[in-house]
Structure 1
Amino acid sequence: MTRPKPDARIRRQLCLGLFAGLAAGSLAGPLPAMAQGDAYPNRPIRVVVPYTPGGVSDAVTRLVMQKLAQRIGQPVVVENRPGANGMIGSENVARSAPDGYSLLVVVAGHAINPSLYPKMSYDPLKDLTGVSMIGRIPLLLVSSAQLPPTTVKELVGWGKANPAKMTFASSGNGSGAHLAGELFAQSVGMQMTHVPYKGISPALPDLFSGQVAIIFDSVQTMMPQVKAGKVRALAISSPTRWPAAPEVPTMAEAGYPGVTAGSWIGLIAPAMTPPAVQAKLAREMEAVLQQPDVRARLIDYGIDPVGGKPEQFQAFIKAEAVRWGEVVKKSGLRLE
């Protein structure tokens, strides 16, 4: 017996049902992790630097991303979106599609901002996720050469005896130098007065003359001033001595192991970026950071190359947020 053929109306319903089922399946979730990792990247990648062009963060990003582009065979376009302590560019990427084609380079302020700003339009720890740490940036504690202290212990003793003169400069409220100074004061039990400037350069004349006593800043910025005799390098915040300043003791060697202030720079992505894409980016970044010429350039910038897996970097960011959140809370600092 011959089975009757469905009429045109039924055939249309069957076709529509099949199409809807396929569409629903494609929208139900992302491609399998292996497929995403294999296909990525197949077009240019945008990397946002939420700071002004020409700074260390911008220069380091352009160096590393040029090498990354060579490895992945796709252009990597660096885009500067400065403003609001890095939050303008960061929000832009946080709101971008989590497909690995919009990435962000940040420094330590990324983890500190939630403690400083009570109202943020995005959540740095939930809307963005770590991919690869590019490197750690130790800070030098330097004092004016016009003042008596020549060691950290002498500085603490002098500062406690002269509280009105115990001032520290920074590049602005909430900056890495500011929070390093707050951590130092809290760790040694000393009252210090913060003097913010609009950048490091305006602070230097007052530091040279002794109008401000100390500053925490990068090796790259401060070592030329140390060699010129304008300031004294008392200690460095890294776990080990820095190759470009082997004569400068670590804070631990100086007797203050709790002062591990320093910045860092790293690559992050929107939070829902597929794990396989994050892992591939991290592997390629690791390979870039192992290149001798890249390592040499980063060390010249005062950066210790790191690399690592996405989950390691994200755990580090969260730990930094907690650590610096406690420093901010004790200091009573709030920014709007």
Structure 2
Amino acid sequence: MTRLKPKARIRRLLSLSLFAGLAAALPAMAQGDAYPNRPIRVVVPYTPGGVSDTVTRLVMLKLAERIGQPVVVENRPGANGMIGSDNIAKSAPDGYSLLVVVAAHAINPSLYPKMSFDPLKDLTGVSMIGRIPLLLVSSAQLPPTNVKEMVAWGKANPERMAFASSGNGSGAHLAGELFSQAAGLKMMHVPYKGISPALPDLFTGQIAIIFDSVQTMMPLVKAGKVRALAICNPTRWPAAPNVPTMAEAGYPAVTAGSWIGLIAPAKTPPAVLAKLSTEMDAVLRQPDVQAKLIDYGIDPVGGKPEQFQTFIKSEAVRWGEVVKKGGVRLE
């Protein structure tokens, strides 16, 4: 056998290494180019008929039209979204099994220390469908008419400064904890089995404030039953243009609300993720889709997979700190 000279051996090794790298990349590239060539399954980890389910079916119908393949929506509710999420976390990372999640996806790790999967490591972002900001409202039976007055009133009347939520660990609960920490208020949390049962107590002033969606609360504001104090969003909301943001009210850190987005198993090829996010962007730019999402109280977003994954991780850190500082515990 002829022995190669040192320089020749180095050149050959470099060539073999380059070839191996290209060979490894080709399957992912080919999959991205050919993807999708069969139906896609999208799991909604909540019950049918809710906002997340309705929005998913709207968006996935439009996505199917663009990619030329069926997109089958499957409901797998339970355990605050963790049953359906676990199913997708353990599915093949090929782009044919996807998951729609809401803010609980990033919050769950701080509320449930023992999970059967790691939301931040076993799943990865594809596209944020939209943001759903919360509205801070107060009882019309109480004197305060804005956030500054509510904070002053709450400090003077701590025994009456109660806020309601739809349950321990819910978005409304954590928003209240965040506001309490930012404003230096001592508030009593009163969990209900949903927002509707809390409304009579809010109307009479037994509950001082509540955080809920613009879509739910603005009709009550217009009816004079509650006062809109601030929107927990960086910018004012089109459906409530006269309501100031929390930043305008002096509390820029109090941004709260839910969001909804599409994610995939963590090892899904980048080319497939890029294809999905590009098509999702196109869907979310369609005027009829935007109009329907805004009607649901959702601000369409879109964006690249890495942007969404960075956002999810930052939300996990942010709400983890709120949970820890507020001593939030689930029974």
- TM, length-normalised to structure 2: 0.91
Give aligned-pair identity as a percent.
86
Q: Which of 178, 197, 202 is equivalent to 1:202?
A: 197
Q: Which of 238, 241, 248 is equivalent to 1:243?
A: 238
Residue matched to 1:7: none
Tell me the distance in 2 between the aligned counterparts of 1:171 and 1:53: 19
Give the RMSD, CA atoms, in angstroms.
1.4
The question of 1:325 aligning with 2:320 is answered yes
Residue matched to 2:252: 257
Residue matched to 1:85: 80
Tell me the distance in 1 between the aligned counterparts of 2:83 and 2:297: 26
For 2:145, give the aligned amino acid: T
Residue matched to 2:124: 129
The 5 Å alignment of 1:307-322 reads 307-322=302-317
Tell me the distance in 2 between the aligned counterparts of 1:201 and 1:47: 30
Tell me the distance in 1 between the aligned counterparts of 2:297 and 2:173: 19
Shift >4 Å, 4+ stretches:
28-31
Residue matched to 1:34: 29
The question of 1:151 aligning with 2:161 is answered no
Tell me the distance in 2 between the aligned counterparts of 1:32 and 1:58: 33
Tell me the distance in 2 between the aligned counterparts of 1:189 and 1:85: 30
Tell me the distance in 1 between the aligned counterparts of 2:225 and 2:92: 49
- TM, length-normalised to structure 1: 0.90
After TM superposition, give the deviation of residue 29 of structure 1 in Å.
Answer: 6.0
Deviations 1:303-330 (A, max 9, x none): 1111000000001100111111100010
Tell me the distance in 2 between the aligned counterparts of 1:256 and 1:333: 22
Tell me the distance in 2 between the aligned counterparts of 1:124 and 1:148: 43
Tell me the distance in 2 between the aligned counterparts of 1:125 and 1:142: 33
Residue matched to 1:180: 175
Residue matched to 2:285: 290
Does the 8 Å contact 1:100/1:277 carry over to 2? yes
Does the 8 Å contact 2:99/2:262 carry over to 1? yes
Structure whose alpha-carbon radius of gyration is higher: 1
Q: Which of 102, 105, 110 is equivalent to 1:107?
A: 102
Q: Which of 296, 311, 319 is equivalent to 1:301?
A: 296
Structure 1: tracts of 5 or more residues without a match:
1-24
After TM superposition, give the deviation of residue 32 of structure 1 in Å.
Answer: 2.9
Deviations 1:133-158 (A, max 9, x none): 00111110000111111100111011
The question of 1:51 aligning with 2:46 is answered yes
Tell me the distance in 2 between the aligned counterparts of 1:155 and 1:295: 35
* Count of residues in Structure 1 that have an aligned counterpart in Structure 2: 310
Does the 8 Å contact 2:168/2:329 carry over to 1? no
The question of 1:120 aligning with 2:115 is answered yes
| Greater displacement, 238-247 / 201-210 | 201-210
| Greater displacement, 76-85 / 306-315 | 76-85
After TM superposition, give the deviation of residue 30 of structure 1 in Å.
Answer: 7.4
Structure 2: tracts of 5 or more residues without a match:
1-19
